[in-house]
């Protein structure tokens, strides 16, 4: 990995778009404000040769609300053998950010997954609808405040107790 070149890319992003740089296990991360993500992605693609955006995901820090989420973008430069991560902090329960589908076309399905699982809306997305969950599903399952429904596991030591509470079909 060309560490000096990657540090120059990170410094350029911070200088032009604000934010900060961190590094963990030789992986460079740049924190970018939400209103600058599209411009930063264009700069990565056009000025620094990051041709691929393989993934978008998010982290939910609930019950913390400022920021509640970090949207995590991975960018790769295959020709230069470099990888960089952009992290975008978002506040609140109905976060939005600009869509990157016009910059990286594969962002289409990744942003749909982000909407489906976390409820983070990509403004300007051409077809923002559920991709993994059924269309009539309520809520976003990867949010930490999503209600969990579960059935307790039945073992030999609690068999009778669980058996009494187990729902039975009506006859």
**pLDDT digit string, tens, across residues 71-93:** 999 999 999 999 999 999 999 88
Q: Give which of 151, 134, 168, 20 is closest to 86, Cα–Cα.
A: 20
Q: Are 38 and 100 in contact (CB under 8 A)?
A: yes
Domain assignment present for 7: yes
The pTM (predicted TM-score) of the whole model is: 0.84
pLDDT digits (tens, 9 = 90+) for 99-156: 999 999 999 999 999 999 999 999 999 999 999 999 999 999 999 988 877 667 778 8
Q: Is residue 170 part of a domain?
A: no
Residue 112 belongs to domain spanning: 3-165
* Cβ–Cβ < 8 Å for 60, 69: yes
What is the rounded average pLDDT of the residues 67-74? 96
Q: How far is CA 96 from CA 93, 106, 114, 123, 170, in A?
A: 10, 19, 11, 7, 46
State the CATH number of the domain containing residue 155: 3.30.460.80
Does residue 171 fall inside a structural domain?
A: no
Residue 75 lies in a domain: yes
Q: Is residue 85 part of a domain?
A: yes
Residue 125: the pLDDT is 96
Total structural domains within the chain = 1
């Amino acid at each position: 990995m060309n560490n000096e070149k990657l540090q120059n890319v990170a410094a350029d992003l911070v200088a032009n778009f604000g934010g900060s740089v961190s590094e963990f296990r030789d992986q460079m991360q740049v924190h970018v404000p939400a209103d600058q993500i599209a411009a930063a992605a264009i700069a990565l693609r056009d000025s620094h040769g990051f041709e691929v955006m393989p993934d978008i995901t998010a982290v939910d820090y609930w019950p913390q609300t400022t920021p509640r989420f970090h949207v995590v973008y991975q960018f790769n430069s295959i020709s230069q053998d470099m990888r960089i991560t952009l992290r975008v902090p978002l506040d609140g329960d109905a976060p939005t950010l600009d869509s990157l589908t016009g910059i990286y076309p594969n962002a289409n399905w990744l942003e749909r997954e982000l909407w489906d699982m976390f409820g983070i809306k990509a403004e300007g997305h051409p077809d923002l609808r559920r991709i993994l969950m059924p269309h009539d599903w309520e809520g976003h399952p990867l949010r930490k405040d999503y209600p969990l429904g579960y059935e307790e596991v039945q073992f030999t030591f609690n068999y009778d107790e669980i058996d009494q509470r187990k729902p039975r079909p009506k006859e």
